[in-house]
Every structure is written in C-alpha cells, then in structure tokens.
Amino acid sequence: MKKWILAAAISAALAGCASQESPVNLPVGVTLLETVKVAESGIGIPYKKYQLANGLTVILHQDSSDPLVHVDVTYHVGSAREVEGRSGFAHLFEHMMFQGSQHVGDEQHFKTVTEAGGTLNGTTNTDRTNYFETVPSNQLEKMLWLESDRMGFFLPALTEEKFEVQRETVKNERAQRIDNQPYGRMGEKFNQAFYSQGHQYSWPVIGWPDDLERANLDDVKHFFQRWYGPNNATLTIGGDFDEFQTLAWVNKYFGEIPAGPKVSADEKTLVTLDKTRYISMEDKVHLPLLRIAFPTVYARHQDEAALDLLSNILGGGKTSIFYKNLVKDGYAVQAGVSHPCQELACQFSMYALANPAKGGNLADIEKRMNESIAEFEQRGVTDDDLEKVKVQFEAGTIFGLQSVSGKVSTLAFNQTFSGNPDMISSDLKRYANVTKADVMRVFEKYIKNKPMVVMSVVPEGQEQLIAHEDTFTPPVLTVSSEAVEAVADHKQIVSAFDRTIMPAAGPAPVLQVPQLWTGKLANNIQVMGTESEETPTVELIIYLNGGHRLVPVEEAGLAGLTAAMLNESSMKRSSEELAQALEMLGSGVTFGSSAYQSYIKVSSLTSRLDETLAIVQERLFEPAFKAEDFDRLKQQQLQSLQHMMSDPNFLANTAFDGLMYGSDSPLGVSSSGTLESVSSLTLDDVKAFYQKQYRAGNAQIITVSNLSESQILGKLAGFSQWQGEATPLPTLAGLPKLQGGKIYILDKPGAAQSVIKIGKRALPYDATGEYFKSYLMNYPLGGAFNSRINLNLREDKGYTYGASSYFAGGIELGVYEAQASVRTDVTSLALVEFFNEINKYKTSGMTDEELAFMRASISQGNALDYETPYQKAGFMRRIQRYQLDTDFTEQQTKITNSISKDELNKLASQQLDLKSMVVLIVGDKASIEADIKALGYPVENLEL
C-alpha cells in the first residue's frame, strides 16, 4: 500500500481550517455559522456560511480569477416529495418559476439575465430543484432581486394561462426526451419494478402523463407554499464580489421573506426485493438491451464507497471484467456497471447492448453477466483495483474545481444533503480508506445471490430475444386525493422597499482576456497556450486538419474508425494495459474526429503530465492496428449506425446535410458513415488514412495549464520527432441546387414528435465580417431563449420544448437553420408560425428595443467566455484555426455596439428569404402529410 502514501497525504491536506469568526458589521438578522479556509497545498473550496433569521442558508465563495458570479438557489424538494398518482409537480413547478412573479413580468427573468450577458437554467431531480445564473460580476444585485422575488412573491403572478402553457411545455419535453428517444421509457418502467408501490422513486421526475393532466392551479399554489420557503433553501454565490455588500443585498432581498412550514428529511429505509423480477418491453430500437440492478444503500452510507469500487472493477471501462467478457468478445456493443446514488436509495446497475451479429439473445447476455460476477468472486480484488479508482476519484475532484459553477454546485449539493458544504476532504477519505475486505464484504452483502430486477428491451416484433418471460406486472397506481398536504396560506408580504424597481448594474467589470503565448516545436508544429493557476491541471488538444472532409464519400466513417483504432493497442501494450496505465494516473486521452478535424484530447494532473504524454506518443507513433481490434470496432460502428437510425434527430441531421451538400460530398454524408461505406472499409484503409491524416504538417496544439510556456514546450519536445507534410483537402464536389420552398418528409412511423428543420446554405465563418454580423442580426429572431421564434412556439403556443435559429459557418461553407421538435398534431401549425416569424423579420427587421437587447446581451456576455480551461482552449483554437488577430473579440464588441439597425435589417432582408430555403420534417407521415400538403407547398417524400 506504499502507493497510497501520496493519496493519504493529499487527503490529510484537504481538511480545511473551519472556525467561527467574530461577526464584523454583519447586517441585522445575519449570522455567520462558519468560515472554511483551504491550506495552500490542499484541495478544497474556501467559503463562509451564514444564515438569515428566516432560515435561509447562505454560502459565499470568493474567486476573483474571472469577472463573473454564479448564483444558485437550491430547494430541498424534488419528485420524492410527491405522492403516488400526483407525480411531476416538482418539475412542473420548476417551469412555473420562470414565468414571472409579482414584480418581475412575464418572460422578464430570461430577458433580464440574457440582456445582462448571462446564462441561466433550472433543473429538477428526485431530491432537489435548483435555479442558477452565471452573469458578469456587476449584475449580482439584479440576480438576487430576481431570485428573491420568485421565492417570496411568486403566487400573486400565478395564472391559469401560464399554468396551461407550461403544462404543454412539459408534455413537449417529455415527448422529446422520453417518448421520441430510443430506450426513452426504459428508466421509468424499470423503477416501477425496482421500487415498491408508493416509493418516492417509483415514478418519473417528469411525471406520468395522466398525473400531469389531473394537476390544477391550486395544486401548484399549495406545492409552492409547502416547499419553497427560505428555510428549505440554500443560496450559494461564487465568484468576484464584495462580501459585505453581497450580504447586505442578500439580507435586503431575502430577509423579509417569512419562513415556510418546517421541512424534515425523509426517512432512509433500505430498498429490498423479495425475489428477482423479470420485465420486458418492445421499443423502436435496433440493439437489444439488458439492464440489471440490485438494491443497495443510499448516498453517503458507509458502504457506498466500497460499492462504487466494486462497480468499477466489474464494469468501469476497458480494464473491467464486463468489457473483457462482453465487449471484447463481441457479444455486446457496449456494457458497463455503475452505482448511482440518490438521497434515499442507490442502484447497483449493469447493462449491455447486445450485438445482433452474435444473435442478440438477451438470455445469453444475462448468462455472461452472471458468469462475470462469478469470475469476480474467484478473482477477488487487487491492489491495482483499489488504486486506480481512488486516483480517478481524486483527479475527478480536482477537475471539478475548474469552474466557479462547479464549485458552487458542489457547495450547494453538500449543504442540501449533508448540512455541511465542506465534504471534499471527507469524501476523499471515504474512498482512500476502502480495503479489499470492504469490497468483498459489500459484494457478499448486496450482490451475491441477491434478488434483482432484470429488464429486456428488444426491437419491435422480436419478443423472442428477451432474457426471460415477465414475472412482474406493475400495480395499478392509486391516486391521492391531495397532491400536496394542506398548509396555511402565507399573508402577502409588504416589502420595506419598492421591488418594482430593478436594481441597476454596477460598474462594468474589466474583461480579462487570457494572456496568450505562441511557440513552435522543432518540427514547426504551432503551439498556442495560456497559463492558469486555478487548478494543478493540464488540458491539451492536438488538432489535425482533415477529419471526415479528407475522406472520399465511399469511405465515409473512416476518420472515426481510424481514431477509434488509435484508442486501442500499441506495439508495446494492449488496449487494456494502456487503459490501466491512464487510470492509474487519473488522466484522460481520447482520439477522435469531426467534420474537418481529427484530434487528441488530453486531460492530466500537472504532476502526471510526463507519464500521460508518454502514453499519447505511444498510441500516436506506435499503433498496433490489430486485426481483432479492427473487426470489433467495425462491427460496433455498424451496429451503432443501425441504432442511430432509430433516433429522429440523427435522421433529421443526416437528411438535412444531404439536402444541403448532396450525396457526392463528404459534408452531405454523416461522419459516422453509412452501412454500405463502413461495411466496405478494411484495415488497410485505416492504415492508409493514418498515414495521410496523422502527420506533423496537419497538426496544431492548444494547451491550458498552470505551467509556463517554456515548461510546456519542454514537455512537448517528444512530439518534435513527428514528421510529414500537410495533406491538402480534396476538391469539394459540386453542390446540389436547392429546391427552395419545397417541404421534404422523412417518415418515422409512430414518432411522438416531428423534427422540423428549415434552412439553406449560407456564409462560411468569419470573425468580423458578414457572417458575424448575420449572427447579430439573427439573435432577436432565434438566437436567445426570449427570441421571437421560441417565445411564439414554446411560450405562447406550447408546441415545443424549444425552438431556435442560427448561422453555423466553417472554413469552406455555412448554413442557416431554424429548427424545433414539435407535437405531431401541430406540425403544420408550427410550420406556419415559423414561416410567419421569419417572413415578418425579413420584411420589418428588428425593433430598437431588440437592437438594444442584442447589444447588451452579446457585449456583456464576453465576461463569461474564458472561465474554464476548455473555454480558453476554444478561444485560442478559433484564433489558431482561422488565423485571427488576438484582439478579435475587441473588434467584435466594437461592431456589436456600433452596427446600425438599418444594416442589420438589410442583412435580414438578404439572408432570410424563405423561397431559397428547404423544409425537412422527420415524423409520422401518416399523421402529418395531409395537413402539410394543405399548406400549398410542394411536398416530396425522402428515404435514407
């Protein structure tokens, strides 16, 4: 266990210094509960924790590295607070909370945050609901005004109309994310069998459709009164702010909100099964799927860490037993084991996507899973098993500290579920202290010969593939007469100040553009980097110009398959040995490809960079290209392609690209390839493409780390041996003539929604020219949440979960596209609204108010552009790839703030001609075709 001296030392250093400082100049009613500092050599999040008189917990984390703040309000209420037959309230209520409050108008929340240059959202799970905004630091008071108004003054603005629109939006979300997705309904059906009737996790977070229908306005009102008091909330603020000014604002805006009813934590009772339950379902899928789960413990139970390690040993990647027995042998396209935990229960979960080329019989898959479990029992736990999981957990913790939002989320999560924001140290210790005996003990206690739920999901009409006939039938749900327990109405708050006045923004923060450096390796590979001291990590990406664009159409899929091969064996080590080496370092190395690039992404702790780069070079310069690896990966790619053909969004993207660029162009064919093209690929094709693509002349490097330029260049010296001239892109095939004004229908029988795409070929990328100006022009039409298109189709009509329009440009070509997934029954109506909005904008352009909104939103949003290492990397990559001036964002800001409405409206008139655009709809043709033809446009049926 000597290898664990480092981890133990790190864990010891993590323990921050917690104290109760004497309060100095605190606002009346604000109490300082604790101050946590982190030793310079330690890992953690420094913060101060306060409480208001009404019970609101306030956590402040100061980070002045970027001129932004992240505000999170987490309420300890999720779907687990609901009752049987009245599900979906927590999630529906999340939607309702964006619909305005007494002093914040309809849609004003989105508009205010977006106009401030910020981003926002809300999420709901079984155990909590959170709302969050990231904004430039001068907008903090405004965010506190918004969040406090919906916490204390939501009910006066609640209307039946708002409720009905959001109910429709939730139905659309369910259709898009569940009903119209392969395997989308699997989770909710599985949980019905896994949990006893009435258990809080036995219904889906989004709710059963019938439950959503029976909800009413009073239910929403009572839900708010019961669960949305400040005493059931944690307000966490991270970023660049003045502590005492922030406390004064928090107390002003939140302090006068009265506490709600007392909230107690739900009792944690271990889930048990009396016997194994088999269930099955048919779905519109290609790959049969087997899912198995055992009930175990609950989050932060003393056995959770050991069970996590057990799941990693069994099915946590290429070094796992499941990978060896199921994927490497070709019986499954994918397989894995995990141990997801929630507040009240965990599932030890195993799955495999069966390979139809091996028959796809799920009884065989279940047999192999059980044999793998038996193999583990015989094999036991090794020192390496323990070490790699612990190193990965440590590395994951450090990488999670790269953004303010990540740190705020961690503090809020820990406070909500543990009453203690400072859990990083104890969590790391939990994993560092797990022993071999612990892992075997939890295996014996929770897994070996224990009852489980086994679910088969098979393609429609292939019931013979299920693992076992069903032995469980979900019970008929009971419907509670009350959705929420009755609570006394709160008296309307009389505020001590005028809340109708939106706080003004503070002085604009100074934009901190990363300090960039450029260098070259001895072989002239360009390297661009920036130094960041926030975490001891390195993010490095090697880009190779080419990718799918370098491949002939008849070999589509070759770039991706070649990259996949480079993730496999080298001449020195097997795939499993290389994966094990990376796991021991806590590093990630991924070869991949896209339309115009192949790439190598590297994530490493700085202290382990040399060893990580040695593995990159081994894979890059000494690939084994084994025939058995190729055969397996090719088969996986073919099966994955057939699987994706059941995804309406993949079908829409593929068909739309075909219309834009034609079947003779690589841009008109999916980078994943076609069944025909991938079937024809050989190992020699991979070797030839490797020689063409993976040359030094094609390569450029981006890096973000806490190392200096000279240090990084020294560590990259091993890539100076790389040779080869740049490979020119082949001539692009001629582009097809678009049949402007035509509607194409691609049939997806039984689809729950229609995917609509409207568009045309447009401008290639430029940073300061017509492409950028067209982006500005489109922003009020479809580029923001409160754009015309989204407000119409989502908020006003309830046709969709979201609608947008955008320009996307690359080196050679670009497109303009408007898109949404809409309810099947309103497909033609949604088309009409799209046409109306685009035509109106083309004819009349934007308003003065929209111009001001666009300028404020885009120019102020720059403060958020460089926070994380990957944001910095993306910024540098644009400079590198498009040979931009390093001050191009300053030029963009000048254009944004000076371009006239007339120039933008002229662009709208030029770019938004519907007669030059085609319309693609992927949906149930039998249900939508007649209504679409009735619109009077030419209609053509497509096939892929």
- Label residue 41 by pLDDT band (50, 70, 90): low
Q: Give how far Cα 114 sits from Cα of 25, 30, 641, 806, Å.
A: 34, 31, 38, 17
Q: What's the rounded Cα separation, in Å, for the pair 350 and 338?
A: 7
* pLDDT reading at 773 higher than 50: yes
Q: Which amino acid is at 889?
A: T
Residue 111 has a pLDDT of 93
Are the C-beta atoms of 62 and 243 separated by less than 8 Å? yes
pLDDT band, very low/low/confident/very high, at 556 (cuts 50, 70, 90): very high
Q: What is the pLDDT of residue 204?
A: 95
Strand partners, 516: 530
% of the chain exceeding 90 in pLDDT: 83
Q: Using the structure block, give the residue that is written with the tokens 């909500």.
A: 416
Nearest alpha carbon to residue 222 among 90, 76, 73: 90
pLDDT for 237 beyond 90: yes
| Per-residue tokens: 672 | 């994943």
pLDDT at 435: 95
Which tens digit of pLDDT belongs to each residue from 205-217?
A: 999 989 988 888 8
- Tell me how far apart the alpha carbons of residues 664 and 265 are, in angstroms, rounded to a whole number: 61
Tokens of 855: 């300028």
Q: Strands, E, within 361-504: which ranges?
A: 453-459
pLDDT of residue 24: 62
Residue 2 is given by DSSP the state G
Sheet strands side by side (includes 347-354): 277-283, 453-459, 289-295, 347-354, 332-338
Residue 440 pairs in a beta bridge with none
What is the rounded average pLDDT of the residues 632-655? 94
Residue with tokens 């309406």: 648
Q: Are strands 516-520 and 537-545 parallel, antiparallel or unpaired?
A: unpaired
For residue 7, what pLDDT is reported? 34
pLDDT single digits (tens) 498-533: 999 999 999 888 877 889 999 999 999 999 999 988
> Hey, what are 705's tokens?
């780390």
Residue corresponding to tokens 């369910």? 174
Lowest mean pLDDT among 17-26, 69-78, 469-478: 17-26
Closest CA to 229 of 260, 261, 265: 260
C-beta contacts of 267-274 below 8 A and 24+ residues apart: 268/298, 268/343, 268/344, 269/344, 270/295, 270/296, 270/297, 270/298, 270/345, 271/194, 271/195, 271/196, 271/199, 271/295, 271/345, 272/451, 273/194, 273/450, 273/451, 273/452, 273/453, 274/451
Rounded CA separation 64/863 (Å): 12
DSSP 747-815: E-TT-SEEEEEEEEEEPPP-SSSHHHHHHHHHIIIIISTTSHHHIIIIIIT--EEEEEEEEEE-SS-EE
Residue with tokens 């055969």: 631
390 in Cβ contact with 373 (< 8 Å): no
User: What confidence tier does 672 reach under pLDDT thresholds 50, 70, 90?
Assistant: very high
**Which residue is listed with tokens 């923001």?**
784
User: What DSSP designation does 570 have?
Assistant: B
Q: Tell me the pLDDT band of 659, cut-offs 50, 70 and 90.
A: very high
**Cβ atoms 61, 238 nearer than 8 A:** yes
State residue 6's pLDDT score. Answer: 30
Nearest to 330 by CA among 636, 567, 642, 574: 636
CB 275 within 8 A of CB 470: no
- Least Cα distance to 658 among 922, 428, 276, 347 occurs for 922
- Token pair recorded at residue 325: 């027995």
Neighbouring C-alpha atoms within 13 Å toward the C-beta of 497: 14
Q: What is the mean pLDDT of residues 472-494?
A: 82
The helix (run of H) or strand (run of E) holding residue 20 is: none
**Residue type for position 563:** A
Is the separation of the CB atoms in 421 and 47 below 8 Å? yes
Look at 876 and 390; give whichever has higher pLDDT.
Answer: 876
Report d(CA 47, CA 41) in Å as an integer.
Answer: 17
Distance, CA of 3 to CA of 728 (rounded, Å): 48
Q: Which two tokens mark 282?
A: 């048919």
Strand partners, 747: 923
H, E, C per residue of 633-702:
HHHHHHHHHHHHCCCHHHHHHHHHHHHHHCCCCHHHCCCCCCHHHHHHCCHHHHHHHHHHHCCHHHEEEE
Contact 720, 615 (CB under 8 A): no
Spatial contact of 807 and 823, defined as CB atoms under 8 Å apart = no
- The one-letter code for the residue type at 843 is T
Task: Report the number of secondary-structure helices (H) and strands (E) in the chain.
Answer: 32, 25
Beta strands across the sheet bearing 814-823: 800-809, 814-823, 753-762, 918-923, 743-747, 939-942
Q: How far apart are CA 472 and CA 182, in angstroms?
A: 23
Average pLDDT, integer, range 181-197: 95
H/E stretch holding 6: helix 5-14
Run of H or E residues at 120: strand 119-124
Structure tokens at 239: 């970023």
Torsion of CA 172, 178, 181, 183, to 10 degrees: -170
pLDDT, averaged across the chain = 93
**Separation of alpha carbons 803 and 814, rounded Å:** 20
DSSP 3-state of 17: strand
pLDDT greater than 60 at residue 922: yes
pLDDT of residue 528: 96
Tell me the pLDDT tens digit for each residue of 425-476. 889 899 999 999 999 999 999 999 999 999 999 999 999 999 999 999 998 8
Tell me the average pLDDT across 535-539: 93
Q: Show Cβ contacts of residue 443 under 8 Å, excluding neighbours closer than 6 positions.
A: 310, 376, 377
Domains of the chain: 277-403+416-465 (3.30.830.10), 516-721 (3.30.830.10), 743-942 (3.30.830.10)
Upper half-sphere CA count for residue 321 (Cβ side, 13 Å): 23
Residues 900/851, Cβ–Cβ less than 8 Å: no
**DSSP states of 879-922:** HHHHT--TTHHHHHHHHHHH--HHHHHHHHHHH--GGG-EEEEE
Rg of the chain in Å (alpha carbons)? 28
Given a contact cutoff of 8 angstroms between Cβ atoms, the answer to whether 342 and 199 are in contact is: no
- Give the pLDDT confidence score for residue 8 in this predicted structure: 31
Whether 817 and 805 have beta carbons less than 8 Å apart is answered as yes
Distances from the Cα of 175 to the Cαs of 89, 180, 243, 755, 927, in angstroms?
17, 6, 44, 11, 16
Mean pLDDT is lowest, of 376-390, 408-422, 620-634, for: 376-390
Max Cα-Cα span within the chain: 77
Query: In b/e form, how buried is each residue of 172-186, taking b as 16+ CB within 10 angstroms?
Result: bbbbbebebbbbbbb
